[in-house]
Every structure is written in C-alpha cells, then in structure tokens.
Structure 1
Amino acid sequence: MIRCVVIDDEPPALAILADYIGQVPFLKLAGTTTDPIEGLTWVQQGRADLVFLDIQMPRLTGLQFLRLAGPRCRVILTTAYPEYALDGFENDVVDYLLKPISFERFLKAAQKALALLMPAPAAAAELPAPQVPSVAPAVPAAPVAEYLFVKGDSKNRFIRVEYADIRYVEGLNNYVVLHLADQRLITYQTLKELTDTLPQPPFLRVHKSFIVSLDHVQAIDGNTLYVHDKMIPVSDTYRDALYQLVRGGRGGR
C-alpha cells in the first residue's frame, strides 16, 4: 500500500482527492490538510510515501514545499495553472495534474507512482486486470492540415497551433512545451507522440528532449542549433539525419 497525504488550501479539492484515493486499491489515505506546514511536518516524520500537493497556497507554496521536503517522498502536483509544469518536472515530480482532475487522469498518475514506489512483481499484483483494446481505424501516416490542436488547461479545451508558428518543442516526461514566437504552450503529450504527428520536414527530432522546426533554425555549429535566442543540443543519434536534410537543401516545405 502507498500511504498518501493530500495538501491543498481548498477543502473541496481535499475532499475530491480523498475520495479518489479511497477508490484505488493500492492507495491508503494517511491524512489531508489545508496547512502546508503541517503537511511538511508529516513528510519529515515519514508518514507519507506520496503527496498530492497544490502549488498556490499561503505561507508555503508547493514549489517551496518541494525544495524543503527533498527526496523524502514522491510528489504529484495538483493545480489549475499549467505554467508551473516546467518547474514541477525540474523538481522530479511524478506527475502534474491540472484541475479539474478526472478520476481517469488521477488513476493514470497513481499507476505511475505505483511503478516508482513498489517493486515490479508487487506493482503488477496491485494493478487492475488489463482490458483488451478495441480495434481503431487506420490513421493517415501524415497530416494534411497546416496546424494541430493541443489540449488546453481545462477539460474539452483545445488550442489550435499553426505549424509555421512552432519554433521548437521541448519534452518534459509526459508533457511537452511548444515554444512559439510570442508564448509557450504546455500540453499533456509525449515527445514521441508529437514526433509522429508533426510533418517531417520541416520538423525534426534532434535530441531526446527536443524537436526543432528547420524553418526557424538560424545557424548550425557542430552539435548545436541556434533557434532565435535558444541554443539547442543535437545528439549523435539524430545528427546524421539533420545534416542529410541540410546538405540536401530539404529543410523547408
């Protein structure tokens, strides 16, 4: 069993997460509190294996909590603000849940925590029986449109993004950051999934954490790309494909 503590300054949010925890066989609720100082004390006393942590709280923010708690437990961030995802993953959180949190999304995060906190044989015993996937219709290999839709910060909200506006994409575990000319968009998707979606060229994966648009590459110097004011590394795995495109003059559409 994974002992869970929920810390959120809003009592309704505590109630929802406590109810979700009660529905998952391998989770056990060890406590809920609206006071992050009290929650930090519980963690320091070893009362929790996993903390569901809000970010914007009085007295002590979630990011300050992460720095003080250190590696004593695993943390899943719960917040209504997607702009903190990058900070969260830089602090090695298990997952980042955007409010309102559905039970399906909560369960997915809980299963990630299970895989990290329990040995593989025990984790397999705790997981529900696998479901046989339905057969999906074939998907075209390449998109026809000049844009894609990415999931926004609330349920059933999607944002249209023109391919031409994307300078580069940065991967953060199960999230990606789309760097556009005037903003950053954070969405729940893996870099691999986005690699399969974006047209190639002009998009090219150049590193385990980066996809670039060759339309926005201003210079290449060895294993470094210059995309406007950003220096992006090129790993040896992807270097040959990059130089083949560049030397062949096939960078643009």
Structure 2
Amino acid sequence: MNNNQKYRCLVLDDQAYATDIISLYIKRESDLTLVAALTDPFEAVNYVNEGVIDLVFLDIEMPGLDGIQFLRLCGERCRFILTTAYSEYALQGFDFNVVDYLLKPISFERFSRAVNKFRQLQLTVSCALETKTYIIIKGDAKHKYYRIRLLDIIFVKGLNNYITIHTHSETIVTYMTLKGILKELPSQEFCMTHRSYIIGKSHIKTIDDNHLIVGDHLIPLSKRYKKEVIESLKI
C-alpha cells in the first residue's frame, strides 16, 4: 500500500469565492493536491479527460454546462463530491455514484467527512488492484479474450477509442479507452507519461527531458506528467 498517495483535486464552481473556500480546505489535507480551481466547466472537462484528476468538487448550478451534464460527460473518469446550495439535486447526484453531497455553506468538518469517504473508496480499490497479477482484455474478434500478466505490459498506447497493449511477445489491439484501462492497472506499477501513453514503471531504462526509454521503445514524456512520473519513481 502506498502511504504517500497524493490525490489530485479539481474545484469547479461558477462563483470564484466558492472555489476559494474549497481550495483552502484542500490545502489543509496533507494527502490532497489542488491541481486547478476553475469557474469554466468546459476547461474543467479538458482536465478530467486528460486523466490528471482523481477527485472533483463539483457545483451543480452553473451556466453553459451544469453539474449534472458534467457528470454525464465525465462521471466515469474520476470521483466526484457535489457542492451546491440546492438539496433537491442530491438524488440526481447519487444516480451517478458520487462520493458525497455537500450543502452550502460548507464547514471544514463536513468537508473532511466527505474526503474520508473518498479515501475509504480509494483504499478499497487499491487493495483489490494490489492483489491482481493479470488482467483480462477483450480481443479484436468476437468471443476472443486475452489474459495478460501485468509484469509483461511494457506500455499502452491510446488512439481515440482503441488501445494497443505492448508486451515482450505481442501487441494486442482492443476497443477500449486509455482511461478505461488505467482504472484496471495498479498505480504503483503503471503511470501515464503522455495523454496517449501508459507505461510499466519496471520497464523504464532512462528518463530524458521529454521522453523515456521503456523496454526498447522511445515513449514521449509531457510536461504535465513529468513531475508525477519522477516522484512516483522516487528519483
């Protein structure tokens, strides 16, 4: 179990003072990292889709794209805690399996209880992933499946709704998103280096300014992921 786990957070609310309050609360929790505090939901969608967010504190009443619409777009990509002044949205939110529902004005005590629920959910997922030694992936033909050892995965490359999984012996193509397979892979063994790449940490040979050598492959390393990759390897 990784006791130094840092959870990357995004705050989204159309009122800047509301993002300021949650941002201050996040900074008081040692295992939470504030990635962005935004008032523009479309900018927030980009962050979530890039896979750099673990937890979103999401307002419901927003112009242009409200919180429920945001959940429909991104609800499977990370965890959500709703923050709103309107209690009538609670049931709708839980239809999307949100972690908790915070009614404004939000106290730090109530915020902390919600974050603890999130931690427990993440702990359950982490324990399950740590016991995995392989994954089952659907192949490129009907009724065809691959059983792939996690240690054999050198890297995964994403292209729209398809991925290619590269091992020492074969390359497997399957209809799946990069974010989808990332959920199946233990974070202590795999990480994203670029919006289109996940690598197996044990296969890293060198890290340069903007790329890595993983196995015998040159893999791009973007600025967005570089710090996280280096910290995960404790370099």
Q: TM-score, normalised by structure 2?
A: 0.50
Matched AA of 1:12:
Y
Residues 119-151 of structure 1: CA distance to partner in whole angstroms, max 9, x if unpaired?
A: 5899xxxxxxxxxxxxxxxxxxxxxxxxxxxxx
CA distance in 1, matches of 2:125, 2:59: 29
Amino acid at match of 1:8: D
Checking the alignment, whether the CA contact within 8 Å between 2:14 and 2:40 is kept in structure 1 is: yes
Count of residue pairs the alignment pairs up: 122
Please give the secondary structure, in 2, of the residue aligned with 1:118: helix
Q: Which ranges in structure 1 are unaligned for 5 or more consecutive residues?
A: 123-253
| Counterpart residue identity of residue 4, structure 1 | C
Q: Does residue 71 in structure 1 map to residue 76 in structure 2?
A: yes
1:50 aligns with 2:55: yes
Measured against aligned partners, the alpha-carbon deviations of 1:169-228 in whole angstroms (never above 9, x if no partner) come to: xxxxxxxxxxxxxxxxxxxxxxxxxxxxxxxxxxxxxxxxxxxxxxxxxxxxxxxxxxxx
Aligned pair partner of 1:7 in 3, 12, 17: 12
Question: Larger Cα Rg: Structure 1 or Structure 2?
Answer: 1
**Contact 2:10 / 2:34 at 8 angstroms: preserved in 1?**
yes
Report the AA paired with residue 88 of structure 1: G
Q: Which residue number corresponds to residue 41 of structure 1? A: 46
Tell me the residue number matched to 1:86: 91
CA deviations on 1:45-66 (whole Å, 9 max, x unpaired) are 0110000000000110000000
- Alignment gaps of 5+ in structure 2: 1-5, 128-235
CA distance in 1, matches of 2:14, 2:25: 18
Q: Percent identity?
A: 54
Cα RMSD after superposing both structures: 1.5
Residue type of the alignment partner of 1:110: V
Structure 1 position 116, deviation (Å):
1.1
Q: 1:70 to 1:120 in 2, by over 3 A?
A: closer
With normalisation by structure 1, the TM-score equals 0.47
Amino acid at match of 2:51: G
* Alignment equivalent of 1:17, drawn from 17, 22, 26: 22
Q: Give the 5 Å matches for 1:90-239.
A: 90-118=95-123
